[in-house]
């Protein structure tokens, strides 16, 4: 059984595995550790779209996403500042959103200056699986729009003004790569 992401203290970290964290990796990285002791999200980051993404990479992603240690697809997303062409990023993102539907796991979303398009794609795809914006740094009005659309928000730092707006069912916490103290 795949655990609910709310059962983790950190839904998005890099390079740190453990029973209470979700480590974000790309399909080229290995899944290590036993079920219950290591959890992952696996996806193709928009920064990895500068060159073409091969069908082999998507095949590996799909195989990994089916692993019971993988609790989410992603970090997938759109980035207006860095990464490949916007059309390529969107194609790779949509393929991952559809994969999340297929494997029935949430989608962890990286978004930089493309929130309007994320909202449009969410409406067009109408996913059954939760999309979660990781590392949210936006304003309260944007948080309100995202949560009204049913999109979750993950915070790396306390943001009382955001936490007051976003329903608990759509609110998550992360470190985005910084290992917890003492680990």
What 3-state class would DSSP assign to 10?
Answer: strand
Cα separation of 55 and 68, whole Å?
23
**Tokens, residue 134:** 């990781």
What is the predicted pLDDT for the residue at 178? 55
What is the predicted pLDDT for the residue at 100? 98
What is the predicted pLDDT for the residue at 132? 98
What is the predicted pLDDT for the residue at 177? 76
Q: Exposed (0-12), middle (13-18) or buried (19+): which is 29, by Cβ within 10 Å?
A: middle
Closest among 106, 109, 107 to 117, alpha carbons compared: 109
Low-confidence ranges of the chain (pLDDT < 70): 178-183
What 3-state class would DSSP assign to 170?
Answer: helix
pTM assigned to the model: 0.95
């Amino acid at each position: 059984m795949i655990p609910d992401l709310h059962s983790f203290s950190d839904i998005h970290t890099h390079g740190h595995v453990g029973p209470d964290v979700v480590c974000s990796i790309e399909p080229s990285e290995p899944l290590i550790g036993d079920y219950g002791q290591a959890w992952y999200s696996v996806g193709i980051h928009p920064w990895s779209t500068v060159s073409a993404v091969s069908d082999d990479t998507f095949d590996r992603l799909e195989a990994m996403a089916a692993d019971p240690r993988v609790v989410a697809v992603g970090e997938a997303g759109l980035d207006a500042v860095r990464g490949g062409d916007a059309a390529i990023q969107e194609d790779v993102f949509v393929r991952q959103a559809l994969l999340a539907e297929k494997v029935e796991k949430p989608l962890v979303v990286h978004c930089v200056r493309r929130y309007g398009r994320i909202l449009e794609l969410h409406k067009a795809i109408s996913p059954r699986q939760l999309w979660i914006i990781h590392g949210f740094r936006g304003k309260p009005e944007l948080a309100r729009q995202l949560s009204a659309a049913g999109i979750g928000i993950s915070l790396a730092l306390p943001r009382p003004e955001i936490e007051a707006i976003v329903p608990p069912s759509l609110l998550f916490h992360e470190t985005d790569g910084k290992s917890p103290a003492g680990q």
